Structure formats: structure tokens, C-alpha cells
Amino acid sequence: MSTTAVSLRANRVVGFWDSTNGKKVVMAITGAILFLFVIGHLAGNLQIYEGPVRFNGYAHFLHTVGELLWTVRVILIASVILHITATVQLALRKKRARPIGYSRKQAIASSYASRTMYWSGPILLAFVIFHLLQFTAGYIHPGSQFIEGDVYHNVVAGFRVWWVSVWYIFSMLLLGFHLRHGIWSMFQSIGFNHPRHTPILKVAALVIAIVIVLGYISIPVSVLLGIVK
């Protein structure tokens, strides 16, 4: 490939990224990747109801596919960085386009979920960091000792601390708001937008978000109630 062809392709990529539509498409694609991770992570977490042997076996399996696991981690980290960067840049671009703002702010066409997208994202990022430090690295594990390899014990012992469970539940509720808006707006960003389809997508996004949130928060609630011991 010639240098000129490489330069033209690079310019197209830069131009695509600099455009508003390009950033929205990047947000949609990276959001879809993160959404698939949320589904897969939930499916793995729900195995805690099958007991310590099954749950620890699942965690051990993940560590046996080291190269694949690190590939997934790199993709997820890149997706998070691109998703946050595109979101922040779009917000700044929107603010510059209307520096004064409305004298009376009315949320006519927006939902509570869409209005909280910008500040719920950083809170979710803080939660992910805390979550990794607690259950993956074991640096933060209040209430009990972190046992390397005994993931079942670490999860149950961690959620027995009430404020850890409350923080987890609060973060999952924010995730639900984020997903509700993000799922249907993802289709909108890639051009799948029609007055007939949008209401259906919004309802479907709401149902999916509720199911995911209930699945995640069922774990700390079950631990606090003594169902998972």
C-alpha cells in the first residue's frame, strides 16, 4: 500500500472521528461491546446460586484462558476510553453550540435517563474501579479477609457489609438508567430511527434494563437476606 493511500485512509479516519455523527457511531459501537460484556458478566455472576464449587469453577475457567481473557480486557478498556471520550467531546460540543442556554429549561423530548447519562457515566466508572479493587485484586475488602481463588467466599463476605451492597445496588440502578437510554439511542445513532420503531425500541430497552438490573442486585440482596451463604 502506498504512502498516499495510507495518508488518505488516515485522514478519513480522523475526519470520521472529528464529525458529530462519527462520535455518535463510535459511542454506539463501543456501547454495544460494553452491553455484551454486561450480559456475559451477569450470566457468570448468576452462577453463584449454584454453589461455591460451580462459581469457583467458573472463575477458575476464566483464568485458564489467559490470552483470550487479556484480549477481551484490552477490547473492553479501549471501548471504555473511546466511549467516555466521545461522550465528553459531544457534551462539550453541544455546550459550545449553545453557550448561554435556555432561560427556562424544559425536558420535553428527553427522559430522566438521557439527562443523567453524562454524570452517571463517571459514577459507574468509579464503581467499576472499586469493584475490581475489591473482588478481583483484593486490595479493598472490608469486613473479612480476601482469599485468593475462593471467589464465592469473597463475593459473599463482601456483600455482607451493608454499605458495600448499598453502593453496588445504587450503581446497578444507575446502570439501568444508562442502559435504558443507551440501547435505543444506539439504534438511533446508526440510522435505525423511525416514528413507528422508536416507541417499541424504548419499551424494549426499558424491559431489558430492568431485567439486567434485577439480575445484578439480586446477588447482594440474597446475601443480605441469608439466601446465599
The DSSP string of 152-206 is HHHHHHHHTSHHHHHHHHHHHHHHHHHHHHHHHHHHHHTT---TTTHHHHHHHHH
- Does 209 reside within a domain? yes
Checking if the pLDDT of 106 tops 60, the result is no
Residues 169, 220 contacting (CB under 8 angstroms): yes
Q: Which helix (H) or strand (E) holds 59?
A: helix 52-64
Q: Is residue 105 part of a domain?
A: no
15 domain-assigned? no
Using pLDDT thresholds of 50, 70 and 90, give the confidence band for residue 108: very low
Q: In this structure, is residue 77 part of a structural domain?
A: yes
**Domain-located, residue 13:** no
pTM: 0.83
pLDDT score for 192: 65
- pLDDT attached to residue 117: 63
Check residues 160 and 86 and name the one with the higher pLDDT. 160
Residue 175's nearest CA partner among 26, 31, 74, 28 is: 31
Answer whether 130's CB lies under 8 Å from 167's CB. Answer: yes
Q: Would you state the pLDDT for residue 99? A: 58
In a domain, 180, yes or no: yes
Could you list the residue range(s) of the whole structural domain that residue 188 is in? 21-96+112-224
Domain count, the chain: 1
Residue 21 CA to residue 11 CA, distance in Å, equals 16
For residues 52 and 191, which has the higher predicted lDDT (pLDDT)?
A: 52
pLDDT at 109 over 50: no
| 209 contacts 183 by C-beta, under 8 angstroms | yes
Q: How many CB atoms lie within 10 A of CB 184?
A: 26
Check: CB of residue 79 under 8 Å from CB of residue 30: yes
Q: What is the mean pLDDT of residues 204-219?
A: 94
Which is higher by pLDDT, 3 or 87? Answer: 87
Higher pLDDT: 118 or 56? It is: 56
Whether 80 maps to a domain, the answer reads yes
- Residue 104 covered by a domain: no
Residue 138 reports pLDDT greater than 50: yes
